[in-house]
Structure formats: C-alpha cells, structure tokens
C-alpha cells in the first residue's frame, strides 16, 4: 500500500461540480492499493499516519502529529500510485488492486484511521473522477510504502 501524505492548510475534493470533502488544517492522504496488500498494511500505515510528527510546535519544530493538533484528514483513493514506469513511457497499472480487493481495503483504511484519531475522516469517492484542490503547507509531502517500512 502506497500513500502520499500532504500537510495542508486546506483541501477539498469535488465531483461533478459538487464538493464532497472539505477540510482546513490537516492532512490530504492519497492511497494506492495493490493486490498484495492486506489488513496488516492498513493497520501499520494508519498508526504511522496518525502519529507522524510533521506539524510545528511552539518552537517552529516539526514535533506534533495530526492527532496533537486535532487536525482533519481527507483520504483519496488513487490507483495511479501503483504505476510502473519500468518499460516504455506509458505507465502500467498491473500491480493496482481490482475494485473487489481495493474497495474493502480502502474502507478498512478509512475506518482504521477514524479509530486512530477518534474522529470522522472525510473521503473522496472510490473510482470517481475527482478534482482535488489543496493549499500545501510548507510544502510538506511524505511518501510511505507499507512494503518498505524504513
């Protein structure tokens, strides 16, 4: 499972000209699920994201988590994170999980993150054509792959 985590001052997701998710200070998390992913990947990533110390404290040092600041989160499914660009110029998405595998894991990911934060998490819509807007704060962008836990 691959994630792109962006610290944001604000973010929103729009589908068919309707805003479906809208947050202020917090995290925008893109999630790409592959066939090999499972509940262990979800649990590890959600714990890591909830406790990732990427918000500044009173000394302007990144020492606080989204939990510490009572920040908000939007989670957006993004199968293109599983792109392989090894051959040619057209990305291959062969490793991306099919919806019957990806949707339950995506839903578990959101539920687990809600449990970690003890609050509702906003989301995009799985498989929809989404317009994502964000004001990246910093910018701070972190890539985490559950298969490489270092």
Whether residue 80 lies in the annotated active site: yes
Longest dimension (CA), the chain: 48
Q: Is the sign of the CA dihedral 70, 71, 74, 80 positive or negative? A: negative
Q: How far from 72 is each of 14, 25, 44, 81, CA to CA, in Å?
A: 17, 6, 19, 22
Q: Which of 80, 85, 123, 141 is catalytic?
A: 80
Active-site residue list: 80
């Amino acid at each position: 499972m691959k994630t792109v985590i962006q610290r944001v001052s604000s973010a929103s997701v729009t589908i068919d000209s309707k805003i479906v998710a809208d947050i202020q200070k917090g995290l925008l998390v893109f999630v790409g699920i592959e066939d090999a992913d499972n509940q262990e990947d979800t649990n590890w990533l959600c714990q890591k994201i909830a406790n990732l110390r990427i918000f500044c404290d009173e000394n302007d040092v990144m020492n606080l988590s989204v939990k510490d600041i009572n920040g908000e989160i939007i989670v957006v499914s993004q199968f293109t994170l599983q792109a392989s660009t090894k051959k040619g110029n057209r990305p291959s998405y062969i490793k991306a999980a099919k919806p019957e595998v990806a949707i339950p894991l995506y839903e578990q990911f959101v539920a687990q993150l809600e449990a970690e934060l003890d609050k509702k998490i906003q989301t995009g819509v799985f498989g929809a054509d989404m317009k994502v807007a964000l004001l990246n704060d910093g910018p701070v962008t972190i890539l985490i792959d559950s298969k490489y836990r270092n």
